[in-house]
Amino acid sequence: MQMEPQPFDRVLSSMCTEPHPVAREAAERFLATNPGDPGTYRTVSALEDDAIAILGEIAGLEEPAGYVASGGTEANVQAVRIARERADDRRPNVVIPDSGHFSFHKASDVLGVELRVVPTDDRHRADVAAVRAAVDEETALVVGVAGSTEYGRVDPIVVLSEIAADAGAMCHVDAAWGGFVLPFTDYEWHFDHAAIDSMTIDPHKMGQAAVPAGGLLVRSSDLLDELAVDTPYLESTDQATLTGTRSGAGVASAVAAMDELWPDGYRGQYVRSQNNAEWLAGALEQRGYAVVEPTLPLVAADIPQSTFDALRAEGWRLSRAATGEVRIVCMPHVTREMLASFVDDLDRLESR
Ligand code: PLP
């Protein structure tokens, strides 16, 4: 049976994208390799070291440690796990803004930590006073988001890291989506800017690698040791990842994409995506829609439910933020022509 994947030409809601051709090719070549068993699958294991080295460079980490995870969810779960292992308390808490990804709720469930979700401010960034009020001596981790899923906003990471340090807690930055655009902005978001202990930064989102390629980085390799378990039947002796067997395709494609695109290709893509987001925001505003300013390449706008439904019926893949705005993520596959055609459809459907 011949099946084709759905094309990307009307996908506006996803944080994944068409892999770069070199990433696709590398993924195919390494399809049958397992970096979960590095003693046996040595080439892909060496490639994973390369992936972490480049991710470290992107994220301002001088001696990078980490691994290529199945995605941002795994990386976030593992960051919470590290913090829990480091905490002495029987049931530590994790403080997170309400813009945090739902993967932290999974982490809380499976790891038995309390999640203290605090409000965001009127700019959709973590409310620093609320974070400060929620943190106490049982806080194991303070989470900041650098490129939020719903509005593409960046929390005040430096302040959050100071609050964490004052409380003796760890600080995790979720840059799963933002990590490949933030290097070209003025935001202070990475290890060199603040006392950050761990970070999620996913090649399979703005990094243009093939799925599955998430990234977990930690400030020092002893933090990974918190995750390690013995692996008696493998050629290697221990394993820090959450999954056992994992995809060499993700690892190889991440290296291929980053080798090809870091930094100039990603810079060019950021500029294109950001310009597209600003163009779309302007076009929607002109038509009277309330728009959340796209500080990164993600536009959120109030579009009535009936129009939203009609657009979806025409094949546009769209989703809503929890507060109702329609999110349009300007990923690499989202071109100006595609957005112009989206706006044309919007006009036609609104005038019916
Ligand atoms: N963190 C952020 C900020 C995200 O936007 C996402 C997904 O969009 C995730 C984590 C989860 O990543 P994944 O779906 O790769 O597990």
pLDDT at 195: 98
Domain at 21-261: CATH code: 3.40.640.10
Residue 206 has pLDDT above 80, yes or no: yes
Per-residue b/e over 118-149, b at no fewer than 16 CB within 10 Å? bebeeebbbbbebbbebbeebbbbbbbbbbbb
Residue 125 banded pLDDT, cuts 50, 70, 90: very high
> Got the DSSP string for 128-187?
HHHHHHH--TTEEEEEEEBS-TTT--B--HHHHHHHHHHTT-EEEEE-TTGGGTGGGSS-
Whether pTM exceeds 0.80: yes
Residue 233 banded pLDDT, cuts 50, 70, 90: confident
DSSP 8-state class, residue 325: P
pLDDT at 1: 72
- The string of pLDDT tens digits covering residues 312-334 is 999 999 999 998 999 999 999 99
pLDDT at 313: 97
ipTM attached to this prediction: 0.99
Residue 237 has pLDDT above 90, yes or no: no
Residue 351 banded pLDDT, cuts 50, 70, 90: confident
pLDDT at 6: 85
Work out the mean pLDDT of the chain and round it to a whole number: 96
Phi, psi for 162 (deg, rounded to 5): -70, -40
Nearest CA, atom 10, ligand 1: 72
State in Å: Cα 40 to ligand 1 middle: 30
Residue 352 has pLDDT above 80, yes or no: no
Q: Are strands 93-97 and 114-118 parallel, antiparallel or unpaired?
A: parallel
DSSP 8-state class, residue 217: E
Query: Which ranges of the chain would DSSP assign to H, the alpha helix?
Result: 21-29, 42-58, 72-86, 103-111, 128-134, 157-166, 221-225, 248-261, 264-286, 305-313, 336-350
- The string of pLDDT tens digits covering residues 260-317 is 999 999 999 999 999 999 999 999 999 999 999 999 999 999 999 999 999 999 999 9
d(CA 312, CA 309): 5
Q: Are strands 291-292 and 229-230 parallel, antiparallel or unpaired?
A: unpaired
Give yes or no for residue 342 CB within 6 A of ligand 1: no
Collapse the DSSP code of 113 into the 3-class scheme (helix H, G, I; strand E, B; otherwise coil) and give the result.
Answer: coil
Q: Which structure tokens are listed for 36? A: 């979960």
| Residue given tokens 């990923």 in the structure block | 331
Residue 176 banded pLDDT, cuts 50, 70, 90: very high
Q: Which structure tokens are listed for 314? A: 């025409």
pLDDT at 236: 78
Per-residue CA distances from 288 to 252, 268, 304 (Å): 46, 31, 12
Give yes or no for residue 101 CB within 6 A of ligand 1: yes
Q: Where are the domains of the chain?
A: 21-261, 263-349
Domain at 263-349: CATH code: 3.90.1150.10
State in Å: Cα 235 to ligand 1 middle: 32
Give yes or no for residue 103 CB within 6 A of ligand 1: yes
